[in-house]
Amino acid sequence: MSKVFIGLDIGGTKLIAAAADEHGHIIKRERAATPLPLEKGLALLDEMIAAVSEGAPIAGIGAAAGGPLNWETGVISPLHQPEWRNIALKARMEAKYGCRFSVDVDTNVAALAEHHHAADKPSKLLYLTISTGMGGGLVVNGEIYRGMNGEHPEVGHQSVPYRVADHRTVACSCGSNGCLEALVSGNGIRRLYRKPPEELTASEWEEVAWNFGQGLRNLAVIYLPDVIVLGGGVAFGARESLLLPATEIMRDHLKIVPHPRVMTSELGEHNVLSGAILLAQRIAD
Ligand SMILES: [Zn+2]
């Protein structure tokens, strides 16, 4: 029986597990709602791994989870899963499955997948996700860029000059003011406009796009990526009503550096799972 590579997407609302062959092609996939209790969540992951691997030997397991986490020790404390605190996931999984296990922040994992599937293999690819929250991952020469002590840079918590109708202070859930996440994420939009993103009017989208364009401008002028790839539910839902005006705002304000390409992810919502399988393949080599 040939070995399989397992990819896990551990999200606050859903768990996805998949088994892939040595070419990364998915053989079987399972999806379930994330149970609140930790023990139930871990037991469900085991069931899903058993279901997708169908008894085949496991070569490696790659996983994506919400931050914060330590990618070296594999200890995770995903912010949106309150019962998952200081979980030594790598130690648990390696002991249980007898293979190598690697976990990284979901946006990093998605960024790896976007880079892997990009036809022109850009030397610097910045992936941004706009969903419930907002974050990103930067891939430099095929490797994830990490900050001090291996920490994950939080691009959603940069401040930007923003436009909102009544000029009030925009408070962010991180405790600071004026963060990009508080202006463009699903939660931020709900707080600011008192409705979900899919109900925003054209002029409200214009405002969101202006604010997002300021964030793109900051990221472009500091990181100078070749390409910026957008993903996440809010970005996929908004498509051109966000992408085009925000890119234009970025270009209008970007004077002394080359302009990166800005595009919507072609992998779509599968980029996280696809990246988790890549992680499994990387560690199994
Ligand atoms: Zn913030």
Q: What is the 3-state secondary structure (H, E, C) of 173-237?
A: CCCCECEHHHHHCHHHHHHHHCCCHHHCCHHHHHHHHHHHHHHHHHHHHHHCCCEEEEECHHHHH
**Residue 99: closest CA among 67, 56, 149:** 56
Question: Would you place residue 118 in the very low, low, confident or very high pLDDT band (cuts 50, 70, 90)?
Answer: very high
Percent of the chain with pLDDT over 70: 99
Going by pLDDT thresholds of 50, 70 and 90, the confidence category of residue 274 is very high
* pLDDT tens, residue by residue, 228-268: 999 999 999 998 889 999 999 999 999 999 999 999 999 99
- Rounded to the nearest whole angstrom, what is the distance from the C-alpha of residue 255 to the centroid of ligand 1? 27
- Å from CA of 221 to ligand 1 middle: 20
**pLDDT at residue 239, as a whole number:** 87
Looking at the predicted structure, is the pLDDT value of residue 67 above 70? yes
Alpha helices (runs of H) in the chain, residue ranges in sequence order: 38-53, 89-97, 106-117, 180-184, 186-193, 202-223, 233-238, 240-253, 271-284
pLDDT at 144 (0 to 100): 96
Structure tokens at 221: 């002028």
Choose among 106, 108, 221, 103: nearest CA to 160: 221
- Dist. CA 285 → ligand 1 center (Å): 38
How far from chain centre, in Å, is Cα 44? 22
Query: Exposed, middle or buried by CB within 10 Å (0-12, 13-18, 19+), for 61?
Result: buried
Structural Rg of the chain based on CA atoms: 19
What is residue 120's three-state secondary structure?
coil
CB 36: neighbour CB atoms within 10 A? 11
Cβ atoms within 10 Å, residue 173 = 15
- 83, pLDDT greater than 70: yes
Residue 245 has a pLDDT of 97
Q: Which amino acid is at 63?
A: A
* pLDDT, tens only, 167-179: 778 999 889 999 9
Q: Phi and psi for 186 in degrees, rounded to 5?
A: -55, -50
Percentages (nearest 5) of helix, strand, coil residues in the chain: 40, 25, 35
| Tokens representing residue 267 in the block | 């992998």
Gap from CA of 177 to ligand 1 centroid (Å): 7
What's the mean pLDDT in 152-172?
90
CA–centroid distance, 133 to ligand 1, in Å, is 10
Half-sphere exposure of 49 (CA within 13 A, CB side): 25
Of 168, 123, 130, residue with least CA distance to 246: 130
* pLDDT above 90: percentage of residues in the chain: 91
If you measure from the C-alpha of residue 191 to the centroid of ligand 1, how many angstroms do you get, rounded to a whole number? 14
Give the separation between CA 199 and CA 68, rounded to whole angstroms.
Answer: 31
Cα 155 to ligand 1 centroid, rounded to whole Å: 9
Strands 58-65 and 4-10: parallel
Cα(53) to centroid(ligand 1), Å = 39
**From the CA of 102, how far away is ligand 1's center (Å)?**
28
What is the model's pLDDT at position 169?
83
- 179 CA to middle of ligand 1, Å? 5
pLDDT tens figures, 199-236: 999 999 999 999 999 999 999 999 999 999 999 999 99
- Give the global pTM: 0.94
- Centre of ligand 1 to C-alpha 68, Å, is 14
Residue 165 confidence (pLDDT) above 90: no
Report CA(162)–ligand 1 centroid distance (Å): 14
Going from the Cα of 182 to the center of ligand 1, the distance in angstroms, rounded, reads: 7
**Rounded average pLDDT over 85-107:** 97
For residue 188, the CA-to-ligand 1 centroid distance in Å is 10
* CA neighbor of 153 nearest in space, from 74, 254, 262, 68: 68
Q: Average pLDDT, stretch 81-98? A: 96
Q: Which amino acid is at 213?
A: G
pLDDT band at 80 (very low <50, low <70, confident <90, very high): confident
The pLDDT of residue 285 is 64
Question: If you measure from the C-alpha of residue 47 to the centroid of ligand 1, how many angstroms do you get, rounded to a whole number?
Answer: 36
CA 278 to ligand 1 center in whole angstroms:
30
Whole-number Å distance, alpha carbon 89 to ligand 1 midpoint, is 27
Residues facing 14 on adjacent strands: 33
Q: Tell me the angle at which helices 202-223 and 240-253 cross, rounded to the nearest 10 degrees.
A: 50
Distance 156 CA to ligand 1 centre (A): 7
117 pLDDT band (50/70/90 cuts)?
very high
* pLDDT higher than threshold 70 for residue 275: yes
Query: Given a cut of 80, is residue 190 above it in pLDDT?
Result: yes
Using the mean position of ligand 1's atoms as its centre, give its distance from the Cα of residue 75 in Å: 23
pLDDT at 246: 98
| Average pLDDT value over all residues in the chain | 95
